[in-house]
């Protein structure tokens, strides 16, 4: 579902598209010019706004819940109909002034509160995993690509080994074996552990081709150390790749976290998570569609927003790159 080698292959292949027609004499993309081009793109702006909104929601979760009146763990038996097996009272899953998004069937927990707190969990895990993955991927990719030889062979073999795993199944296996404490932290670790090779492979490839550029030889001939060459000469040239790959990694991790929680090896109840909410809505989807539609829509839109945003950033940077 989230980790397919192909998906990243596409990004790699299309990312190279920009450099196809030689070196244009245009000045390199300036931040301001990029920002202006970005703001002209309505889809990108809409996605950016949605992501900001979700982040805001996650940050301000306790405040929002205070305003709406119900916490994420509060049961409200008055909102469900015990005679009908706990189906929410009222239309559309019990939506109304009291419960803005309705309530969970069965125990009447407030969906709005759970969505808001779920956003917190999703974003926290996805962003932490992205940061950790990016760090690992960039460092190992740079080292393997720059030093080559034996170092590269070892790192490449490890990457191939990790990528040879069907990541989802392996994550499930690992997580199902691990204790339930500190689940969120473990999720980040496990996701990053299986995630970094995809970025590292691309960074490695680009480093290998950058290494052949004569400016690296020029730096070497001037007495630059390996660390100086890697971080001062090569890394700046990887910036746009890293930005694009990172933006495209976030939706993958949002989806992975939700998927793992959906399968019951992710975030442990009662902590809310969107994937877990969708999982628990499965038995109810025919009688209370709002229960899965609301978290489903939030999740889909978040993943879509990040994906579109990553796509647009890639195109912008790709066009602006010399």
- 194, 133 contact by CB (below 8 A): no
The binder of another protein chosen from 201, 281, 316, 318 (CB under 8 A): 281
- Compute how many other C-beta atoms are within 10 angstroms of the C-beta atom of residue 71: 14
* Residue nearer to another protein on the CB measure, 246 or 281: 281
The 8-class DSSP code of residue 30 comes to P
Name residues contacting another protein, limited to 192-221 (CB under 8 A).
Answer: 213-215, 217-221
Task: Identify residues 14-73 at the interface with another protein (CB under 8 A).
Answer: 14, 17, 20, 23-28
- CA-to-CA distance for 116 and 53, rounded, in angstroms? 11
d(CA 306, CA 5): 19
Among 176, 182, 185, 231, binds another protein (CB under 8 A): 176
Q: Which of residues 238-277 bind another protein (CB under 8 A)?
A: 239, 251, 255, 258-259, 262-265, 275
Considering the rule CB under 8 A, would residue 187 count as an interface residue with another protein?
Answer: no
Torsion on CA atoms 319, 300, 242, 48, rounded to nearest 10: 60
| Helix, strand or coil, per DSSP, at residue 180 | coil
Which of 32, 169, 181, 227 forms a contact with another protein (CB under 8 A)? 169
| Sign of the torsion formed by the C-alpha atoms of 87, 258, 261 and 4 | positive
247 membership: H or E segment, kind and range: helix 235-262
Contacts with another protein in 67-106 (CB under 8 A)? none
Two tokens, residue 61 = 């979760």
Instruction: Say whether residue 154 binds another protein (CB under 8 A).
Output: no
- The least distance separating another protein from the CB of residue 314, rounded to whole angstroms, comes to 11
Indicate the SS3 state at residue 272: coil
How many amino acids of this chain bind another protein (CB under 8 A)? 78
Among 164, 185, 269, 270, binds another protein (CB under 8 A): 164
Q: How far is the CB of 171 from another protein (least distance, A)?
A: 9
What mask, x for binding another protein by CB under 8 A, covers residues 284 to 313?
-xx--x--xx--x--xx--xx--xx--x--
**Least CB distance to another protein at residue 251 (A):** 6
Among 162, 322, 143, 309, smallest CA distance to 239 is for 322
Residue 263's alpha-carbon distances to 72, 129, 168, 171, 172, in angstroms, are: 21, 19, 11, 11, 8
Task: Tell me: does residue 180 bind another protein (CB under 8 A).
Answer: no
By C-beta, is 82 or 300 nearer to another protein?
300
């Amino acid at each position: 579902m989230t980790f397919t080698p192909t998906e990243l292959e596409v990004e790699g292949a299309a990312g190279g598209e920009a450099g196809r027609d030689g070196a244009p004499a245009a000045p390199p993309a300036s931040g301001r010019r990029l920002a202006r081009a970005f703001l002209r793109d309505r889809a990108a702006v809409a996605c950016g706004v949605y992501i900001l909104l979700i982040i805001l929601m996650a940050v301000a979760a306790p405040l929002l819940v205070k305003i709406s009146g119900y916490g994420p763990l509060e049961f409200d038996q008055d909102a469900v109909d015990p005679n009908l097996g706990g189906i929410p009272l009222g239309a559309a899953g019990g939506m109304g002034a009291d419960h803005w998004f309705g309530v969970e069937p069965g125990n009447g927990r407030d969906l709005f509160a759970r969505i808001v707190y779920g956003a917190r969990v999703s974003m926290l895990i996805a962003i932490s995993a992205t940061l950790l993955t990016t760090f690992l991927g960039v460092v190992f990719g740079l080292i393997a690509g720059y030093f080559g030889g034996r170092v590269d062979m070892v790192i490449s073999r490890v990457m191939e080994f990790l990528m040879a795993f069907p990541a989802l199944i392996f994550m499930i296996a690992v997580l199902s074996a691990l204790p339930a404490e500190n689940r969120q932290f473990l999720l980040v670790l496990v996701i990053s552990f299986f995630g970094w090779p995809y970025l590292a492979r691309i960074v490695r490839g680009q480093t290998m081709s950058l290494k052949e550029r004569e400016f690296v030889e020029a730096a070497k001939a001037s007495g630059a150390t390996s660390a100086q060459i890697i971080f001062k000469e090569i890394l700046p040239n990887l910036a746009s790749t890293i930005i694009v790959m990172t933006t495209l990694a976030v939706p993958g991790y949002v989806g992975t976290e939700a998927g793992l929680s959906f399968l019951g090896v992710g975030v442990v109840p009662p902590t809310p998570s969107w994937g877990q909410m969708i999982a628990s809505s499965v038995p109810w989807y025919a009688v209370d569609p709002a229960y899965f539609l609301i978290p489903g829509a939030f999740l889909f839109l978040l993943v879509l927003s990040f994906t579109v945003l990553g796509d647009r950033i890639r195109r912008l940077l790709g066009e602006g790159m010399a």
